[in-house]
A and B are shown apart, each in its own frame.
Chain A
């Protein structure tokens, strides 16, 4: 509980510090809005030209896009320490000061960064979600809301876990490894569309290695009334847990990696 309080207080502090430069903050937040709106425009244009994608209607596609975008940007909003700042912490030796303090390394890394500019991206994602659910005629029930919340929460853990791969590499190699972007940003690009449209290798990759399909597509497809592969309803609540599994595995590896951490000394 103590950790949670510490995290919440850090977030409050970081938010206040970001708001110290209101003009710059507003500019950058608007820039984020434009970027994400651009991403959404692509989906709209695709739907405009192709109408549907292997049995998924335009509304369905907006729903998938919105779900991915909300999950991804919530992670970047609250997990900036891992998703963005960690490589520079290693390179500059800022991580050393963290090691001196009587709290967990991961907790402190997560407490040290947030990216409130992403709020507009989350807003765009939410709009897409609402649009998608309206256009697909989803009838919401308590169970569906629960599935949606679980899906977003677990996807956030999954994305955080995937970004931690980069951190783990970084502990060993100091330099950040861009190749990992293929799985994080590549995962976002690929999995904002439902998994079953892709050929088998990509399906395997995003079901087993980076299980976006399990955390996002299985619940979303069920909410839209078109269960993925016709899987039974219990899978909707069980498969997203793979997100938490990835997160815990990566946490363990992260702590293992920290044992080999050598300061850059500057």
Chain B
């Protein structure tokens, strides 16, 4: 356990090093957020929806702030898979799955906190209807934060599954592009899930992708009442376990039939 914790800590420090890239990233992300909010505001002028525009804006900002949680992946691991250096990792006295799980978790956590917090501050300063609104209630906020943490765990499990497929095919671009599209679409990054057709909602809500950011955001804005928090967090935990188990199974199989590329 201590080994994993150390890996986690090392990776956190590593992520803190890239502050220059971070500022550029934040500015870019803020700009995209402003464009999206402007677009939804224009759409709302024509035809207001059941969900108030303030909630849509909040949704956009929370999505943009924690965008790093969705997209950050471990570039070292990809290189290792391609170059064959991954064979060294098999010599380590820790489980490979756990090793990369905590690494990716540190990266996603630090990456999104470093970018997310300044962005949330910025979004809070924007006028009403443009920026982020306060959480619906204190319990809602707490439930949202808790759901976000579990969402992070779930996300890392998903990422490890993608990596397991990459180990098979060696070329990350095909399968990864497909999985990434599923993710940005059904996690609500391209379009808030609350604006998807109502008939789709029932299915979308139970997909693993909506557990990552959508569930925490809906708890925050109060679309999911606090009374449902327990049910939602159970679904999240269930998915995390299922995806984690599936990932471990895939990694286990990969370890047995791994062909190391090159020397």
Contact = CB atoms under 8 A, between A and B. Distances in A.
Interface of A: 24, 27-28, 30-32, 34-35, 38-39, 41-42, 45-46, 48-54, 177-179, 181-182, 186, 189-190, 193, 197-199, 202
A48 B25 CA distance: 32
B47 A30 contact: no
A50 B196 CA distance: 11
Interface string B192-223: 00011100000000000000000000000000
A55 B173 CA distance: 40
B21 interface: yes
B55 to A, nearest CB: 15
Contacts of A199: 38
Given A178-B21, A186-B31, A197-B42, 19 more contacts: A27-B173, A27-B174, A28-B173, A28-B177, A31-B173, A35-B181, A42-B190, A48-B197, A50-B47, A53-B43, A178-B25, A181-B28, A182-B27, A182-B28, A186-B28, A189-B32, A198-B35, A198-B38, A198-B39
Contacts of A178: 21, 24-25, 28
If over half of B's interface residues share one DSSP class (helix, strand or loop), that class is named, otherwise mixed; here it is helix
Per CB-CB distance, the 3 closest pairs between chain A and chain B, nearest first, are A31-B177, A27-B174, A197-B42
Interface of B: 21, 24-25, 27-28, 31-32, 34-36, 38-39, 42-43, 45-47, 49, 171, 173-174, 177-178, 181, 184-185, 190-191, 195-197
A54 B46 contact: yes
A129 to B, nearest CB: 20
A197 B41 CA distance: 9
A83 to B, nearest CB: 17
Contacts of B173: 24, 27-28, 31
Given A42-B191, A45-B197, A48-B197, A54 B45 contact: yes
A30 B173 CA distance: 11
Contacts of A179: 24, 27-28
25 contacts: A24-B174, A27-B171, A27-B174, A28-B177, A31-B178, A34-B178, A35-B177, A38-B184, A38-B190, A42-B190, A46-B191, A48-B197, A49-B49, A49-B195, A52-B46, A179-B24, A179-B27, A179-B28, A181-B28, A186-B31, A186-B32, A197-B38, A197-B39, A198-B38, A202-B35
